[in-house]
């Protein structure tokens, strides 16, 4: 199982996306989002990005999702829709899961699959050969580069996040 | 909107577009598009009515979907070419899909459905920014990838856009929807020439922006949003009546005016590349555009449109709206044709 862990995690990732894309109430959708975030962290970890996986949990789930959860709790409705309480939501969920399962079976059965780019069964999900990275972790080098050569990128992304907050406040001001 | 917040948001809209235009890294392109989109949402929602909110939501959904498609194909291009530079050869499939994503952002057919609805739901000044400034960023990326664009795709989209811009605008009386269909048609002209001479696309964009700016400013000066209201301009501000006449003819591409320059240059470049049917088709469907501009001209400047007698005797107040730069813009939108020989510096 460990050789196929990235493939399994990716499949469950898509299924958790389906779980909130089928639009139940935000409380239940938030749960699917949480699971998706955790699985995404797992995928990042499997490619050697230990620091970034931790960042996903801390900042993304622990910061942004918590804020999302609190705002959802403020806007809660008396009869929230779960996945089984509404036929439309259930149908969308089943469609999404079926599509993903069929895709996964297609990938596993055929030896070589060419959808957008060729990949050899589940082989390409198993061994991701990006070449020899030497003694340094590429991920740590990338983060170091972000804060040294990539100052402009930090400025731009920081500004975008600030603007995101200002825009949300402007939009919800409503007078 | 609170003035300091408005300034910050406008700065972000401008810097988002500037980042897209000046960067050579695909990730920054995506970041610029998202910054631009995020910051323009409150501008679209300046008035807090449900119509404006619906328009802002529609704009956000289509543009966000287009950005996502663009991002996916940026990453697939990275997978195939191993680098993030914008100017290098694109994977052909990535080029097709990026063109599609950018067409969604521009409002080219068959992704044009959001343009009239969004333009109609927002205020005139927001519509101005939407139809002029927001076109700069996607067109700049199309300019940069123009050598690898699939001709079938882009020419189909451009012919469809000119046709839809023409036929769609025929049944409209609301000025904002007319300008939206006008924008769709002009985008069609711009993307038609993109493959053969991207410089002419920039020329068309410049002249289109000047003319659309002027048109919107004249409409804002009058505070009109419908044809019927525009037809009372002779009573409110007679000068604007004659300006609308000349400007509509320029938008339609009639010869002694500036609007003729891009059409002429585009048809010339297309025929130099041995396409004959296509510029013929473009020119003929541009006549549909001309028809509804002429209808606006006719009702505004050439007849007294039916109205109550009380509407024929209005108080003339001084206009308090700040119409920055309007006289030079009017001159630029109508009198640039004699400068067309300067285009020989492009050779």
Q: Give the pLDDT confidence of B6-34 residue by residue, as tens digits.
A: 999 999 999 999 999 999 999 999 999 99
Cβ-contact A92, A84 below 8 angstroms: no
Q: Which residues of B touch A (CB under 8 A)?
A: 1, 5, 8-9, 12, 15, 19, 28, 31, 34-35, 38-39, 41-42, 45, 48, 56, 76, 79-80, 93
Q: State both tokens at A141.
A: 């080098």
pLDDT tens-place string over residues B235-248: 888 899 999 999 99
**Chain A closest-CA separation from residue B107 CA (Å):** 24
Q: Residues near B141 by Cβ (< 8 Å), separated by ≥ 6? A: B20, B29, B86, B98, B102
For Cα atoms B186, B190, B192, give the angle at the middle one, nearest 5 degrees. 115
Mean pLDDT of B154-171: 95
Does a cis peptide bond (omega within 30 degrees of 0) precede residue B102?
A: no
Cβ-contact A41, A53 below 8 angstroms: yes
pLDDT band of B167, cuts 50, 70, 90: very high
- Residue A126 has a pLDDT of 57
Mean pLDDT of B58-84: 93
Mean pLDDT of B267-271: 95
Closest Cα in chain A to B18: A156
pLDDT band of A173, cuts 50, 70, 90: confident
pLDDT band of A111, cuts 50, 70, 90: low
pLDDT tens-place string over residues B271-321: 999 999 999 999 999 999 999 999 999 999 999 888 888 888 888 888 888
A78 CB-contact burial (10 Å; exposed 0-12 / middle 13-18 / buried 19+)? exposed
Q: Which of A109-118, B27-36, B167-176, B262-271 has the lowest mean pLDDT?
A: A109-118
Q: State both tokens at B258.
A: 């500036």
Integer CA distances (angstroms), A109 to A122, B119, B125, in order: 9, 49, 57
Nearest to B170 by CA among B156, B157, B184: B184
Integer CA distances (angstroms), B115 to A123, B14, B110, B225, in order: 45, 21, 11, 16
Residue bearing tokens 């259930």: A90
**Helices and strands in chain B, H and E counts:** 15, 0
Cβ-contact B279, B201 below 8 angstroms: no
Cβ-contact A55, A140 below 8 angstroms: no
Secondary structure (DSSP) of A23-37: ---HHHHHHHHHHHH
pLDDT band of A167, cuts 50, 70, 90: very high
Q: How many CB atoms lie within 10 A of CB B7?
A: 11
Is A151 at the interface with chain B, CB within 8 A? no
Say what the ipTM of the complex is: 0.86
Q: How far apart are CA B184 and CA B218, in angstroms?
A: 20
Closest Cα in chain B to A118: B80
Mean pLDDT of B145-153: 92
Residue bearing tokens 């890294």: B25
The continuous run of DSSP H or E covering A114 comes out as: strand A113-114
- Residue B14 has a pLDDT of 96
- Residue A85 has a pLDDT of 86
Mean pLDDT of B239-259: 94
pLDDT tens-place string over residues A27-62: 888 889 899 999 999 999 888 888 999 988 899 898
Q: Which of A101-110, B154-163, B259-268 has the lowest mean pLDDT?
A: A101-110
Nearest to B251 by CA among B304, B213, B194: B213
Substitution target from B1, B7, B10, B12 for chain A, most A beta carbons within 10 A? B12
**Is there a contact between A171 and B80 if contact means CB atoms under 8 Å apart?**
no
Checking if the pLDDT of B329 tops 80, the result is yes
**Chain A closest-CA separation from residue B35 CA (Å):** 6
- Beta bridge partner(s), residue B305: none
User: How many contacts (CB atoms, under 8 Å) link A and B?
Assistant: 44
Residue bearing tokens 């730069």: B325
Substitution target from B13, B20, B22, B45 for chain A, most A beta carbons within 10 A? B45
Q: State both tokens at A26.
A: 């935000």
Q: State both tokens at B277.
A: 């049917």
Alpha carbon dihedral B212, B215, B217, B218, in 10-degree steps, equals 170
pLDDT band of A113, cuts 50, 70, 90: low
pLDDT band of B57, cuts 50, 70, 90: very high
Q: How far apart are CA A165 and CA B75, in angstroms?
A: 27
Mean pLDDT of B30-42: 96
Q: Name the 3-class secondary structure at B48.
A: coil
Q: State both tokens at B125.
A: 């000044």
Q: How far apart are CA B337 and CA B145, in angstroms?
A: 30
Q: Name the 3-class secondary structure at B174.
A: strand
**Chain A closest-CA separation from residue B20 CA (Å):** 12
Taking 3-state DSSP, the helix, strand and coil percentages for chain B, each rounded to the nearest 5, stand at: 75, 0, 20
β-strands A113-114, A118-119 pairing: antiparallel
**Is there a contact between B1 and A164 if contact means CB atoms under 8 Å apart?**
no
pLDDT band of A114, cuts 50, 70, 90: low
Checking if the pLDDT of A129 tops 70, the result is no
- Residue B11 has a pLDDT of 96
Average pLDDT, chain B: 93
Q: Residues near B17 by Cβ (< 8 Å), separated by ≥ 6? A: B32, B36, B133, B134, B136, B137
Enumerate the residues of chain B whose CB falls inside 8 A of the CB of residue A175: 48
Checking if the pLDDT of A132 tops 70, the result is no
- Beta bridge partner(s), residue B25: B85
**Is there a contact between A153 and B28 if contact means CB atoms under 8 Å apart?**
yes
Q: Name the 3-class secondary structure at B248.
A: helix
- Residue B90 has a pLDDT of 86
Substitution target from A114, A128, A145, A163 for chain B, most B beta carbons within 10 A? A163
- Residue B318 has a pLDDT of 83
The continuous run of DSSP H or E covering A118 comes out as: strand A118-119
**Chain A closest-CA separation from residue B320 CA (Å):** 24
Closest in B19, B39, B80 to A167, CB measured: B39
Q: State both tokens at B42.
A: 């409150």
- Beta bridge partner(s), residue B208: none
Nearest to B96 by CA among B78, B79, B77: B77
pLDDT band of A106, cuts 50, 70, 90: confident
For the CA atoms of chain B, what is the radius of gyration? 20
- Residue B89 has a pLDDT of 79
Nearest to B152 by CA among B195, B200, B108: B195
Mean pLDDT of B109-137: 95
- Residue A121 has a pLDDT of 55
pLDDT tens-place string over residues A5-21: 888 898 999 999 999 88
Mean pLDDT of B202-209: 96
């Amino acid at each position: 199982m460990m050789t196929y862990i990235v493939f399994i995690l990716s499949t469950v990732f898509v299924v958790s996306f389906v779980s909130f894309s089928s639009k139940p109430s935000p409380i239940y959708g938030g749960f699917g989002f949480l699971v998706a975030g955790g699985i995404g962290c797992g995928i990042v970890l499997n490619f050697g990005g230990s620091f970034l996986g931790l960042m996903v949990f801390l900042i993304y789930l622990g910061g942004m999702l918590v804020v999302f959860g609190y705002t959802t709790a403020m806007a809660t409705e008396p009869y929230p829709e779960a996945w089984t309480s509404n036929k439309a939501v259930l149908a969308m969920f089943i469609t999404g899961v079926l599509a993903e399962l069929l895709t996964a079976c297609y990938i596993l059965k055929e030896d070589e699959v060419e959808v957008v780019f060729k990949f050899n069964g589940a082989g390409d999900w198993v061994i991701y050969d990006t070449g020899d990275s030497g003694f340094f972790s590429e991920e740590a080098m990338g983060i170091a580069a972000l804060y040294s050569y990539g100052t402009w990128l930090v400025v731009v992304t920081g500004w975008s996040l600030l603007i995101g907050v200002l825009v949300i406040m402007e939009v919800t001001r409503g007078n | 909107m609170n003035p300091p917040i408005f300034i910050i948001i406008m700065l972000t809209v401008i810097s988002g577009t500037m980042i897209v235009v000046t960067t050579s890294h695909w990730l920054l392109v995506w970041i610029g598009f998202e910054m631009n989109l995020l910051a323009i949402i409150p501008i679209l929602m300046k008035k807090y009515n449900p119509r404006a909110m619906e328009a802002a939501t529609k704009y956000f959904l289509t543009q966000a979907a287009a950005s996502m498609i663009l991002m996916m194909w940026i990453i697939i291009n990275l997978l195939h070419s191993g680098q993030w530079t914008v100017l290098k050869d694109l994977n052909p499939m990535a080029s097709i899909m990026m063109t599609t994503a950018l067409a969604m952002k521009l409002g080219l057919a068959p992704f044009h459905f959001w343009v009239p609805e969004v333009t109609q739901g927002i205020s005139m000044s927001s519509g101005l920014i939407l139809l002029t400034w927001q076109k700069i960023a996607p067109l700049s990326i199309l300019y940069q990838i123009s050598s690898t664009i699939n001709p079938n795709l882009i020419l189909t989209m451009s012919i469809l856009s000119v046709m839809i811009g023409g036929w769609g605008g025929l049944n409209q009386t609301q000025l904002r929807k007319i300008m939206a269909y006008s924008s769709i048609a002009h985008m069609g002209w711009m993307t038609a020439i993109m493959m053969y001479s991207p410089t002419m696309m920039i020329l068309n964009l410049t002249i289109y922006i000047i003319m659309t700016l002027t048109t919107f400013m004249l409409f804002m000066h009058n505070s009109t949003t419908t044809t019927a209201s525009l037809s009372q301009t002779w009573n409110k501000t007679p000068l604007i009546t004659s300006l609308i006449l000349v400007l509509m003819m320029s938008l339609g591409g009639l010869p002694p005016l500036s609007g003729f320059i891009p059409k002429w240059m585009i048809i010339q470049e297309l025929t130099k590349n041995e396409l004959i049917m296509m510029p013929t088709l473009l020119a003929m469907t541009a006549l549909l555009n001309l028809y509804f501009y002429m209808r606006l001209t006719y009702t505004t400047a050439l007849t007294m449109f039916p109205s109550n007698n009380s509407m024929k005797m209005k108080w003339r107040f001084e206009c308090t709206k700040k119409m920055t730069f309007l006289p030079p813009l009017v001159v630029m939108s109508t009198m640039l044709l004699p400068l067309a020989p300067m285009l020989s510096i492009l050779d």
